[in-house]
Structure 1
């Protein structure tokens, strides 16, 4: 159209071209200002397992003192992202996306892209920010058989019978066999019966479970690591769990923090 205006000398075409150029300039400035002053952030979850979708939180903060941002999209590498219709000045917005990683070990999301088609959805303007988000992907979980040290029997599945002990809750009344201590005899019920009856309690503290990576069943190292990770995730909240691998032993402890320590050890096994 510009060449036509020059060649023909038509003033109307000159006006139309000038108006279009002015419109592009104004919308371009408004579009760039719309994404200026935005601070994106990505927050990984506490536990990320290979081949399983993990919910990552995407946050963006409008640092400008004046002026809202419209139709802002925050994306990770790969195209997954969240669109925020409106972010007021000084306000923040947050969304969640599921991300899946194929393998265990160190991983990172090194950049985030902020884009917007504002104001007329003709051009999409974007800005790329470095994030430095590093995290560890835990091994893929694969259910297996619980193998403990000592005289603990093998168990399979999610449920197991509580062992008999002296410090748990009262489970039942049974006949005295001669092996129980005298303080376990229920004297009131025994007085009404022709035989001695004893109280049976469950065990409140379970024995430690030390997972030997080399002795776990599996077709290869990766499958044994996946089964060890499942054992850690399954039992670390209920009993002390330790790990024996690569010639070293991590002592058995309980708690979520200790479980993540064991999972990180399995995730980085052979990857350092």
Structure 2
């Protein structure tokens, strides 16, 4: 049975954390009830009155059974601690029936669309029967679209049970949270011998793991000069490091516009954060040590999963009002 995602309700009413949608079938049935009622009043036929009473009892029974199905149902959800945008991650859904004796039938569990477009969860999960005092577990897929903290507070529990005349919906708290890291994309990794000025991105390598010594060339910096070898030969000789990992890089994330002293535009901010996160991710996967430096933060230089997670966590939480919040907290 397909989930009722594309139905077009004829009539909708909300009350006490319940939303009642009248389906097309239900609308046709109610129209029939009105017709039978008018016929019974005009003719005084007892049989029509009996049919009218039976039809009204169907509507009453539908409301009672659907309410009984939605009552005493708890929903728990679990997500990985951290995720990346654009990838689908399993979200475990556990539906527990707290009723002592009776089962719940024909229930759907789905998550309302996010108003800010931060995520989507699909498909809607259908539970034919949830026995009393039993937990039933199924898995949906969550895809995040934006970095930052992602919190889902409610899930929708809905049913068409028993006749399909109405779709009754109840919001059930789930309160599940995860952290969405910045987008990791393919980037060109810096050469370990490259040196850039502070504020321009990657600055320099660190360590004494030499690959070779060569003659000094115009453009070489004095920090790369091997002074002991230069003193022995009488000519300036420059340290040349092996390509690849086992070097240290400092990544500068500039989020402040120097002219206005305010946060850069959101599109520029997102691009810089994604590029910085991608460099940190790929450099550390290559084996290099990475340090992150911003206007108000500096991390140690290291290479470990915990260090990578701390850098990505920091980048994930940078927001346009991040500097203001940081200043207020420090004050």
Structure 1 and Structure 2 fold alike (TM over 0.5)? yes
> Matched residues in 1 for 2:84 and 2:303: separation?
20
> Matched residues in 2 for 1:126 and 1:104: separation?
30
1:117 paired residue among 160, 169, 177: 160
In structure 2, the partner of 1:258 is: 307
In structure 2, the partner of 1:140 is: 183
1:213/1:88 Cα in 2 relative to 1: closer, same or farther (>3 Å)? same
2:148 paired residue among 86, 105, 118: 105
Displacement, 1:236?
4.5
In structure 1, the partner of 2:133 is: 90
In structure 2, the partner of 1:223 is: 271
Q: Structure 1: any 5+ residue segments left out of the alignment? A: 154-162, 166-204
1:64 alignment partner, SS class:
coil
Q: Deviations over 1:103-134 (max 9, x none)?
A: 22233323211011122233222211233334
2:166 alignment partner, SS class:
coil
1:91/1:164 Cα in 2 relative to 1: closer, same or farther (>3 Å)? farther
2:82 alignment partner, SS class:
coil
Kept in 2, the 8 Å contact 1:147–1:209? The answer is: no
Q: Structure 2: any 5+ residue segments left out of the alignment? A: 1-35, 114-120, 196-208, 212-244, 256-266, 323-331
What value does the CA root-mean-square deviation take over the aligned residues? 3.2
In structure 2, the partner of 1:246 is: 295
Displacement, 1:86?
2.3
Displacement, 1:253?
3.8
1:92/1:242 Cα in 2 relative to 1: closer, same or farther (>3 Å)? farther
TM-score (norm 1): 0.68
Kept in 2, the 8 Å contact 1:52–1:140? The answer is: no
Kept in 1, the 8 Å contact 2:82–2:178? The answer is: no
1:90 alignment partner, SS class:
coil
2:100 alignment partner, SS class:
coil
In structure 1, the partner of 2:69 is: 34
From the two aligned structures, give the one with the greater strand fraction: 1
Kept in 2, the 8 Å contact 1:77–1:109? The answer is: no
Displacement, 1:22?
1.6
Displacement, 1:93?
2.3
2:308 alignment partner, SS class:
helix
Kept in 1, the 8 Å contact 2:75–2:173? The answer is: no
Q: Deviations over 1:69-95 (max 9, x none)?
A: 222111111284211222222222233
Q: 63-72 vs 14-23, which deviates more?
A: 63-72
1:126/1:227 Cα in 2 relative to 1: closer, same or farther (>3 Å)? same
> Matched residues in 2 for 1:64 and 1:233: separation?
49
1:21/1:262 Cα in 2 relative to 1: closer, same or farther (>3 Å)? same
Kept in 1, the 8 Å contact 2:80–2:178? The answer is: no
Displacement, 1:239?
5.5
Displacement, 1:137?
2.2
Asked if 1:212 corresponds to 2:247, the answer is no
